Amino acid sequence: MLVGIPREIAPGERRVAMVPEIGARLVTAGFELAVESGAGAGALHDDAAYQERGISVVPNADELYANADIVCKVQPPNIAEVARLREHASVVSFLQPGTSLELVEALKNRNISAFSLDLLPRISRGQSMDALSHRPPCRGTRRPSSPHIACRSSFRCS
């Protein structure tokens, strides 16, 4: 099963759906992973970091969408991205389905299974999957290792 991580295309979005360290865990579990070249750059993860952990780097999103069984994104896919997904593929993202019925219809019409991380219950049983409270104070990057390290100005800090 191929898990694909495309580059985020929303303006100003610097996050990546999967960092190399987490991808390595999935590779160890038997999944095949592919990341679009440059997908992690905004979050300070270069292509080499993915390759060192056994994750393939593909040159463009077309190749990724054509082959991925599961696509992981931060922002919801737009309608053009949904059209590029394989029929019966799956999408894992902050879909915010209540804000775009057009997106929900497009996913349904292409028989795409969609998992919206923003709709996971925020209860103790689901805490390990709670993507909303697991974000570090500086969104889009890892937490600074020292409180004396300031966040880059392009990041929004809490």
Averaged pLDDT, 10-22: 95
User: How far lies 115's CA from each of 65, 73, 90, 151, 153, in Å?
Assistant: 17, 11, 8, 31, 32
Quick one: pLDDT at residue 122? 62
The mean predicted confidence, pLDDT, of the chain is 85
Q: What is the pTM of this model?
A: 0.79
Range of the domain at 111: 2-119
Quick one: pLDDT at residue 119? 84
Residue 78 lies inside a defined structural domain of this protein: yes
Dihedral (C-alpha) 21, 138, 128, 33: value to the nearest 10 degrees?
Answer: -30
Residue carrying structure tokens 């390759």: 51
| pLDDT tens sequence across 42-93 | 999 999 999 999 999 999 999 999 999 999 999 999 999 999 999 999 999 9
Q: How many domains does the chain have?
A: 1
Residue 71 lies inside a defined structural domain of this protein: yes
Quick one: pLDDT at residue 157? 43
Q: What percent of the chain has pLDDT over 90?
A: 72
Residue 82 lies inside a defined structural domain of this protein: yes
Q: Which of 11-20, 83-92, 118-127 has the lowest mean pLDDT?
A: 118-127
Residue 68 lies inside a defined structural domain of this protein: yes
Quick one: pLDDT at residue 55? 98
CATH code of residue 7: 3.40.50.720
Asked whether residue 147 carries a pLDDT value surpassing 60, the answer given is: no
Residue 146 lies inside a defined structural domain of this protein: no
Quick one: pLDDT at residue 156? 43
Quick one: pLDDT at residue 148? 41
Residue 90 lies inside a defined structural domain of this protein: yes
Asked whether residue 130 carries a pLDDT value surpassing 50, the answer given is: yes
Please give the Cα distance from 110 to 89 (Å, whole number). Answer: 9
Residue 12 lies inside a defined structural domain of this protein: yes
Residue 144 lies inside a defined structural domain of this protein: no
